[in-house]
Structure 1
Amino acid sequence: MSDLTLGQTVRRLTAEELEVGFAATANEGKAASAPDTPEVDLADPDALEVIDLLKDYSGVLLTGAPGTSKTYLAHTVAMILSEGNSARRAFAQFHPSYQYEDFMEGYRPKEGGGFERCPGVFLQLCAAAARDLDHSYVMVIDELSRGDAARVFGEALTYVERSKRGMSFLLPSGTIATVPPNVAIVATMNPLDRGVDEVDAAFERRFAKRLMLPNAELLEARLIENDVPDALRKALLGWFRDINGQKTPAAQIGHAYFWNITDEASLKAAWEYQVQYHVDRAFRYEEQTRDRLRDKWAAIFVGDTQAESK
């Protein structure tokens, strides 16, 4: 039996059927982390590609600009491998304050005084997987590059390697631990985060990287599905291709920012509350390009033919 198993039956399941909901794992008000669709497609070719990579690598890093469906794809992979069983998957979001004690083990005060050892989220998942080697377990790590990933993993970073799976190692508490072969690790990261260089150095030999790009074709299909008027759709897609064609690395903006656009009002809201800040930040040293993109956006709503895709 392979280390990572996949059920033979393929069908579309709703997030509700799979106990997902995403309420606890993504901020639905933030385009970068919002799920792209209420359904999980068990035949999703991107998810199946990641699952294939997991058979050969210690884990997979989904890297790309905000809003490129990284978190959604990570959760889709987790749903498929765990077969909808929430007990067989775990989620962590790294940030500057996230520690080894949260992920592996630490000591916390207990009632009546003193301290007790508490296993972290990854150690708990590994322990459960070790008791159930016939099934796959999945650790999803969102925004890996925002934390000190090597320090958070600690000694476990060595033992996530495929060649060292199942080997015992000693934790600072004296506890013996293992990373079983049936544990998959899928992480997301923004390639422009400050901690990327450190992540690259620690993980590049162990993890496969899968680049996630802004997808104009996927966005167009979604806008058609949302019954967005033709002129508005074409103008938005023209602007989307324009900004993502800029040489500035920080310029890229994902399709998920516009996933729920249905009309002019919702598109204006997307600009007011999210998109304009992305443009200003990405082009703060390129005023001419920034102003041109702002003008082209404004032209979307006055029918300027320059805003339409060529």
Structure 2
Amino acid sequence: MPASTPDPAQLTREQVLRALRHLDRTTLAVPASTVYDLVYRGRRYPPRAVAQQAWRLATARPDATWPLPAGAPTNQVLERLDFTIATKRPTLASSPTLDGDVAAQQAMQDLYTGPARHSIPALPGQVQEPAAAYDAAAPQPYTRAEARQELFISDAALDQALAALHRRRNLILQGPPGTGKTFLARRLAWLELGATDAARVELVQFHPSYSYEDFIQGFRPDARGTFQLTPGVLLNFCQKAAQDPEKPHFLLIDEINRGNVSRIFGELLLLLEADKRGPAHAVRLPYAPAEAPRFFVPANLYVIGTMNTADRSLVPLDYALRRRFAFLRLEPEFGAPLVRVLAAQGVPAAVSSRLVARLTELNQTIADDPELGPDFQLGHSYFCQPPTAPEAAEEWLTLILQQEVGPLLEEYWLDQPAKAAAQRRRLLRN
């Protein structure tokens, strides 16, 4: 694209995607837009700032200025490239321009406090959730031998995980996608309980709109449109654990770094400390009345979080939280444990060998890439559910490589489509 005659119409979608990726990776001070946002994959960006960055990448001139004014001229160029331009909604003054907390901001805008008191209709009866359509499975004994058959980590790594959990009472399992973090978290809880006891294991998943009020305590509307002080997941589970002090209870937090952890945890940042457990360290919750009992975390409550290291949209955990957790890294396992599991399920040795060779080669390429690295390798859990018929194993592997691994590689090398295509061909070669 000649620098002497810049033509905004020549901007391509590929160049805009590279600009979005560049903005996500850097901490540039991007001026906020006043009227419009470019919306892409749940995040909002100032359209002219995106166009400016794309223009600089396209012209290879770091000082190039986007030639069109903000508003309709810039928006029309981006819309022709199939990007969505939306009217800007209000954001918190303290929120950074690209904080990614779109769902939380939308919830603020859409907050509804109910109709006026005089217009509340009379309700025919108590409103309640429907009865559960299932019964929890009865607890079954769970031993270390069973864990060793299911888990892909070594005995030494399993001992390290259990020791860290005993020492800190809080553990985070981190690693690339598909390394079995949530699977291992549940098995660690079962091992400590000695049974698959769902009543003493609570699983929650953090996300950008998850809040302190959801997790600990807050005001929520009832059936009549009035707000009631309601305990959150943690408060309920702590009360349950305190009533059964002889048995450990496990709170599993999936995708712990997908939410705003400092905002969600609140007082828990203090009370998670191993030496700050019990009634002696109870604190008053901000929403609770003065006469309400103080809140504490019982000594028999254990917290296990999982953290995906490959998601670029996630913010690293702050140091205050990191000091309260032990960390265990999980790696992709394309070796003997996976081959053993696949063989037990009838997968032919030729298919297993092809799988192991191709994924080992791919992971090495990803690990060696300066813009990706080991955190972006692919885990083994993609391949842990083979078909029951051995003759379908070849097609099963091909479909996973085409429909699950292939699109992920296109995301990894978004600005290098030729490299992504080459890696897909290597995976699928005969």
Pair 1:159 & 2:271 matched = yes
Relative to structure 1, is the Cα distance of residues 265 and 115 closer, same or farther in structure 2, using a 3 angstrom cutoff?
same
Partner secondary structure for residue 141 of structure 1 = strand
Q: Which residue in the other structure is 2:301 paired with? A: 183
- In the TM superposition, residue 212 of structure 1 has moved relative to its aligned partner by 0.6
2:171 to 60, 63, 66: 60
Structure 2 residues without counterparts, runs of 5 or longer: 1-135, 388-392
Residues 186, 276 of structure 1: alpha-carbon distance in 2 compared, 3 angstrom cutoff: same
Alignment of 1:260 with 2:385, yes or no, is yes
1:80 corresponds to which residue?
A: 191
From 264, 283, 287, the equivalent of 1:169 is 283
Deviation larger for 227-236 or 165-174: 227-236
For residues 83-142 of structure 1, give each alpha carbon's deviation from its aligned partner in whole angstroms, at most 9, with x where no partner exists: 333222211100001111111011112234522211111111111112222110100000
Match of 1:291 in 2: 421
Alpha-carbon spacing, 1:136–1:99, altered in 2? closer, same or farther (3 Å)? same
* Aligned amino acid, residue 269 of structure 1: L
Q: CA RMSD in A?
A: 2.5
Supply the distance in 1 between the matched residues of 2:347 and 2:398 (Cα, whole angstroms).
13
Q: Calculate the TM-score normalised by the size of structure 1.
A: 0.78
Of residues 218-227 and 96-105 in structure 1, the stretch that sits farther from structure 2 once superposed is: 218-227
Which residue pairs with 1:234 in the alignment? Answer: 353
Letter in 2 for 1:282: Y
In the alignment, is the contact (CA less than 8 A) between 1:147 and 1:195 conserved in 2? no
Partner of 1:8: none
3-state secondary structure, aligned to 1:51: helix
Equivalenced residue count is: 268
In structure 1, what is the equivalent of residue 181 of structure 2? 70
1:51 aligns with one of 141, 162, 177: 162
Which amino acid in the other structure matches residue 378 of structure 2? I
User: Residue 271 of structure 1: CA displacement?
Assistant: 2.2
Structure-2 residue corresponding to 1:214 = 332
1:81–1:138 Cα contact (<8 Å) kept = no
Identical counterparts, % of pairs:
31
- Are residues 17 and 214 of structure 1, via their aligned partners in 2, closer, same or farther at CA, if it must alter by over 3 Å? farther
Deviations 1:229-267 (CA, angstroms, capped at 9, x unpaired): 233221221111011112232540010101123511111
Offset at 1:172?
1.1
Asked if structure 2 preserves the Cα contact closer than 8 Å seen for 1:61 and 1:187, the reply is yes
CA distance in 1 between partners of 2:211 and 2:163 (Å): 30
Whether contact under 8 Å (1:89, 1:125) holds in the other structure is no
Q: How big is each residue's C-alpha offset from its partner over 1:43-82, in whole Å with a ceiling of 9 and x where there is no partner?
A: 9645553222111114111001111010100111222334
1:104 alignment counterpart: 216
User: Which residues of structure 1 form unaligned runs of 5+?
Assistant: 1-14, 20-38, 303-310
Q: For residues 191 and 185 of structure 2, what CA distance do their matches in structure 1 show?
A: 10
Is the counterpart of residue 126 in structure 1 residue 238 in structure 2?
A: yes
Matched residue of 1:192: which SS?
A: coil
CA, structure 1 residues 115+40, in 2 after alignment: closer, same or farther (shift >3 Å)? farther
Q: Distance in 1 between matches of 2:207 and 2:314?
A: 13
Question: What TM-score comes out, normalization by structure 2 length?
Answer: 0.58
Distance 1:180 1:193 in 2: 33
Separation in structure 1 between the aligned mates of residue 139 and residue 277 of structure 2, nearest angstrom = 28
Q: Please state how far the C-alpha of 1:268 moved relative to its aligned partner.
A: 1.9
- For 1:41 and 1:272, locate their aligned partners in 2 and report how far apart those are by CA, in whole Å: 32
